[in-house]
Amino acid sequence: MNFPKKIKSDRIELTGVHKPTFELANEIYAHIEESRAHLEVFLPWADTTKSPEDEFVALKDFAQGFDQKTNFAYIIREKNTHRFLGCIELMNVDTKNLSAEIGYWLSKKACGNGYMLEAVRALEKVAFEKGINRIVIRNDVKNIKSAHVARNADYHLDGVLREIRFNDKTKQFDSSNVWSKLKSEA
């Protein structure tokens, strides 16, 4: 399954992570750093990304996923200003069952403007065109903003995975919502 290097919508552009650079790693890391308190509540990787070098390793993994056609990670930018907004990834691509999962994050400054909803819709449109039949979004049950994205993108709440992840910060188990959308519902 091949995915485009760029996906455009009204206000944003998704650029596939193909060739990681230290410049890009530094840019993303700066946004992780300024959004760390906002991100690490729900995303375990934010707590372990402690340097631009850590981010560069992640970018290399994203590029490898793109090359192997198993995961497709994109940088989200404003189309007109090229301002970094966040990242979105089509991951766990299952070509036998034609399913995949969307994961995403926005920098704190980009939240509340509908950018992620637009990014999800743009990526899912391409995924359905490429033959994916079912897309899943998971979010921590306490992550209301992420749940709003899934709900506003017309995903169906399939259920809750109770106490699926141990949270090292709170020393408690977290539960996750599981949302899905079928190609026939798009």
Instruction: Report the C-alpha gap between 85 and 105 in whole angstroms.
Output: 9
* Top CATH class, 6-185: alpha beta
* Structural domain spans, the chain: 6-185
Output the pTM of the full model. 0.94
Give the single-character DSSP code of 69: T
Low-confidence ranges of the chain (pLDDT < 50): none
For the segment 16-53, what is each residue's pLDDT rounded down to a tens digit? 998 899 999 999 999 999 999 889 888 888 888 999 99
For the segment 79-90, what is each residue's pLDDT rounded down to a tens digit? 999 999 999 999
- Which residue in the block uniquely carries the two structure tokens 């390793």? 57
- Residue 154's region, left for phi above 0, alpha for psi from -120 to 50, else beta, is left
